Structure 1
Amino acid sequence: MTTSNGPSDAVELKREVGLFGGISFIVGTMIGSGIFASPSGALAASGSVALDLIVWGLCGLLCLMGALCYAELGTLITKSGGEYQYIKAAFGPVAAYLFSWTTVVVLKPSASAAISLTFADYALKIFPDESNSCEEEMVQTKRLIAIAVIWLIGFIHIYSVNLSNKVQSVCMVAKILAIIFIVILGLIKIIKGNTATLASGFEGSETNVFHLSLAFYQGLFSYDGWNQLNFLTEELKNPQRNLPLAIILGIPLVMVCYLLMNVAYFGVLTKDQVLNESALAIVLGNEMLPKYIVWVIPLSVCFSTLGSTNGEMFACGRIAYSTAREGHLPRILSFCHVDFQTPVLGVIVTVFVSTLYVLAGDFNDLLEYFSFAAWVFYFITVLGLIVLRFKMPDEHREFKVPIFIPVIFCVCALYLIIAPLISEFSYKYIGAVLFIVFGLVYYIPFVHFELKLPFLHGVFKKIQYLFSIAISTYHEDEGKGDQVALENVAEKEA
């Protein structure tokens, strides 16, 4: 589905994100509500304190290995869109489209909705309700706050990439300061001799390797966002340098923060408290802080969730934009605002779908089973790196990881895909797969057979003028000069 030029000549995305901004997008998206609110899932599945800490560390190492692989792919293929571009180059357009379909319709919007609802929950904890409002009123209030956050972030994404970058940087600094504050509280308690929980060591450890995969899923959910920067490589200054550098600096920082936070919890709280409480950071604050400053903890969670929502929605809009520009979604979704140079309709689609998830209510099962789908795509993407090593052996790679890193990552990803099916099989996994394949209902007629609907031409033209958007172009001004050759390889494979 194409449309003619609208109000102006073609435009392109602006490179406004530097190294600090890149680190902010990684750290700001990864550190969400999980580590502040309920990191107990990994402990429940691992069974012991020591094994829990090992799981958190291994989750960080796995994400770092994956991100380093993505850094190689991102400096080889410098278009925005992350996995979509890499899967397309390695395995062709159908697999790439199915990734985008799943991510734009389910993975990113549902994650944004869940995180924004957590923001609303903790925003209300800053000012405790003394009026004993009924539960239904509280649910509606949370939904309204969550929708307001989603729409505010959407407006910022349309108005300015630079402003989105500043929001992410502020949120990152705020949550790092909050983590330092909580860790200091925990260390004070440990220094005073409160080490009983930590001393329990490996007592009660889970020994079933398939059940242990659930502990890794719990930890990896909190690490989600490690691939964030690859979605905006066209807006990253000097991506050949800043993409791998931001990953190398950002992810180890998150690993350290998560490990220290868990140690702090175990230094203040008992194992039963960690397992049973739903808001650990607030429980820790109530144990250690005077009542008049306990509000600092929920405020910190608000900053954390705001940054994560900002990052998730930013990525989703760019995936829709990149997929549409390649012709796998309606091309008008790839048009950019002539003044702001942002993908307006890609952002609007993200806002609309995220809002629907907030209104729908309970979608925890959806998130659980599509987290499995996410790791299928991670596996395919890193396997694609190995495939491209053979397809393009002579292509210059600005950043190149040792081959054992993608091999280890693929083996671990396969474990994470297969183990839950063995330990706790559910037909909902089959439902997730069927939903992914259902995306072909659009792809086959409109992309493969290039079916055109003539009446949409006039509709799209009106939308162009309404939103002041124009065709977006891509230039390899700071990327690889051999991108065309790379795309030719993908087209031949298709």
Structure 2
Amino acid sequence: MGVEGTVVGGGDSLKKKITLRNGVTLIVGNIIGSGIFLTPTAVLFASGSPALSLLSWSFAGLFSLIGAICYAELGTTIVKSGASYAYILEAFGEFIAFLRLWISVLVIEPTVQATIAITFGQYLLQPFNAYCEPDMLSTRLVAAACIFSIMYVNCINVRYGTRLTDVFAYAKVAALIVLIFTGLFYLFFTSSGQVANFTTGAWTNSKYDPLSIVIGLYQGLFSYSGWDTLNFLVEELQDPFVNMPKAIWISMPIVIIIYVAINVAYLAVLTPAEIMSSSALANDMATRTLGPIGGICVPIAVAMSCWGGLNSSMMASSRLFMVGSREGHLPRWISMITFKGNSGTPAPAMIFTGLLTILYLLVPNVFDLVNYYSFTYWLTVGLSVAGQIYLRYTEPDRARPIKFSLAWPIIFTLMCTILIVVPLITQPVDTLIGCGMMFSGIIPWFLWKKTDWLNSCGCIKAFANGCERILGSITRTLQLLLPVIPGKLADE
């Protein structure tokens, strides 16, 4: 998986086209996806009461903010795209970094993106299927079209992708603000507002046992995932030492305030029982407050939110795969970038990301695959921040343009440890399957390393050499078909 065939050209680096505004909208756009329209049901179910659910949302936001500031230090100390993969590689070496990349290719990235794309298809088709659910084939064809559109736009120019991210981030924030003010109006200026959710019934049925509290936090954190988006694209960020922390300090408070406020709006309109039994929370709220027009507008707004979130997610994961390829952990052709004009886009990595996601649309129960990655996701994020602590002690004199108190990474690592333990208790089978998927990367790792005992096996050696020849042919063919050359770091 390292060197394959002959590549033409001396290499080029990605262009720094991402501004501070783009950075803010990338983070906001990736975090605010379909989760905020689906997860409040699970958070309230785990918490038991309106007040405790709002505390769960607030604490999940603060926890995500701590993670983001830890990543701000990591992203300006190790100025490589790829986020946790790059940080684990720097702190703990190739083997653990390869396993992190392996589970990302196998489960995390394509599964998350496929579920977002399917949700996009479901909500976009919903206004045309008022009395029934859209069928699976139609939904997945629309999902595939969504993925192809994002792939096409981002292959042309990075700026096109970031501009669309800007537009969709503004639109989804505006839509959520409309829902928030609608809910508040319903609470204060109509007789049907659920005042009891904030007064006599605020703490009713609260679940104070530690496991329920952590599960509520766990569910809330799912909707906050994406706070590390900018770390995947740091090589393309203008003035990263200034703009990365600024983008985090601007975007994260915006998301936290919106998330808590929209949950207040849900509780202002619906009873806890209605929220916990709802399969389309925002739609139910809008239909009650705005009438039939709400049932049409909200699905379109959710679909729009999904498109923007998927765009940000695919931009981030394509850079992860590009960096993994550049380090020799994925086929070489994935790290190539375009040189025609001034585009400088990782088009092969974006194509790889898009096609991999479309492949996962063929899995009938793709939503079930999400259950397998929670353990490995928090394990890799926790390892990244543990690596930050490790590098503080092993390389104390290393240049750190941004340096926060060591208390923050310690707190975050301890919390990640709790989040790693929770699925072992609540979903032991799914967690073990996820672990098995991650550690299945040991086999390709040894094949790539070509250890002596593997080389002594003729069939395995022949298989590995055959794979290299095929990948080499792909690399050369790609250079003939597309204006691409090998990618490299800007300072190489």
Report the TM-score, using the length of structure 2 for normalisation.
0.92
Kept after mapping to 2: 8 A contact 1:38/1:277: no
> For residues 452 and 474 of structure 1, do their structure 2 counterparts lie closer, same or farther at Cα, with a shift above 3 Å needed?
farther
CA offset digits 1:352-377 (Å, max 9, x no partner)? 22112211121233202311210111
| Partner SS state of residue 72, structure 2 | helix
Alignment equivalent of 2:478, drawn from 463, 466, 471: 463
How do residues 57-206 of structure 1 correspond to structure 2 at under 5 angstroms? Answer: 57-129=58-130, 138-192=135-189, 194=193, 195-199=195-199, 200-206=201-207
CA offset digits 1:314-365 (Å, max 9, x no partner)? 1111111001101111222111122232222211221122112211121233
* RMSD between superposed Cα atoms in Å: 1.8
Give the superposition deviation at 1:467.
Answer: 2.5
Match of 1:439 in 2: 441
Q: Distance in 2 between matches of 1:448 and 1:230?
A: 32
> Does residue 1:368 correspond to 2:382, yes or no?
no
Give the residue type in structure 1 aligned to 2:488: T
Q: Distance in 2 between matches of 1:446 and 1:373?
A: 22
Q: Distance in 2 between matches of 1:38 and 1:67?
A: 21
CA offset digits 1:57-110 (Å, max 9, x no partner)? 000001000010000000001111111110011111111111111112211111
Give the residue type in structure 1 aligned to 2:79: T
Gaps of 5+ in 1: 477-483, 485-494
Give the superposition deviation at 1:129.
Answer: 4.9
Q: Distance in 2 between matches of 1:421 and 1:7?
A: 48
| Partner SS state of residue 208, structure 2 | coil
- The more displaced of 56-65 and 208-217 is 208-217
Query: Share of identical aligned residues, percent?
Result: 34
How do residues 3-14 of structure 1 correspond to structure 2 at under 5 angstroms? Answer: 3=4, 6=7, 8-14=9-15
Q: Distance in 1 between matches of 2:440 and 2:29?
A: 33
How do residues 47-446 of structure 1 correspond to structure 2 at under 5 angstroms? Answer: 47-129=48-130, 138-192=135-189, 194=193, 195-199=195-199, 200-292=201-293, 294-339=295-340, 340-422=343-425, 424-446=426-448
Q: Distance in 2 between matches of 1:327 and 1:33?
A: 34
| Partner SS state of residue 207, structure 1 | coil
| Partner SS state of residue 399, structure 1 | coil
Q: Distance in 2 between matches of 1:234 and 1:79?
A: 6
Give the superposition deviation at 1:441.
Answer: 1.6
Match of 1:34 in 2: 35
Give the superposition deviation at 1:287.
Answer: 0.9
Match of 2:460 in 1: none
Q: Distance in 1 between matches of 2:404 and 2:157?
A: 34
Give the residue type in structure 2 aligned to 1:362: N
Matched residues, number:
472
CA offset digits 1:106-150 (Å, max 9, x no partner)? 1111111101111111111233457x7xx6x72110010001101
Kept after mapping to 2: 8 A contact 1:112/1:354: yes
Kept after mapping to 1: 8 A contact 2:26/2:230: yes
Give the residue type in structure 1 aligned to 2:116: I
- The more displaced of 398-407 and 354-363 is 354-363
Kept after mapping to 1: 8 A contact 2:283/2:294: no
Q: Distance in 2 between matches of 1:4 and 1:140?
A: 40
Give the residue type in structure 2 aligned to 1:295: I
- The more displaced of 311-320 and 292-301 is 292-301
Report the TM-score, using the length of structure 1 for normalisation.
0.92
Q: Distance in 1 between matches of 2:214 and 2:46?
A: 8
Kept after mapping to 2: 8 A contact 1:6/1:465: no
Q: Distance in 2 between matches of 1:44 and 1:377?
A: 28
CA offset digits 1:139-172 (Å, max 9, x no partner)? 1100100011011111112111101101111110
Kept after mapping to 1: 8 A contact 2:153/2:160: yes
| Partner SS state of residue 336, structure 1 | strand
Kept after mapping to 2: 8 A contact 1:38/1:279: no
Q: Distance in 1 between matches of 2:368 and 2:423?
A: 14
Q: Distance in 2 between matches of 1:314 and 1:179?
A: 24
Q: Distance in 2 between matches of 1:419 and 1:292?
A: 41
Q: Distance in 2 between matches of 1:376 and 1:58?
A: 20
Q: Distance in 1 between matches of 2:230 and 2:392?
A: 22
| Partner SS state of residue 359, structure 1 | coil
| Partner SS state of residue 295, structure 1 | helix
> For residues 91 and 448 of structure 1, do their structure 2 counterparts lie closer, same or farther at Cα, with a shift above 3 Å needed?
farther
Give the superposition deviation at 1:448.
Answer: 6.0
Kept after mapping to 2: 8 A contact 1:213/1:420: no
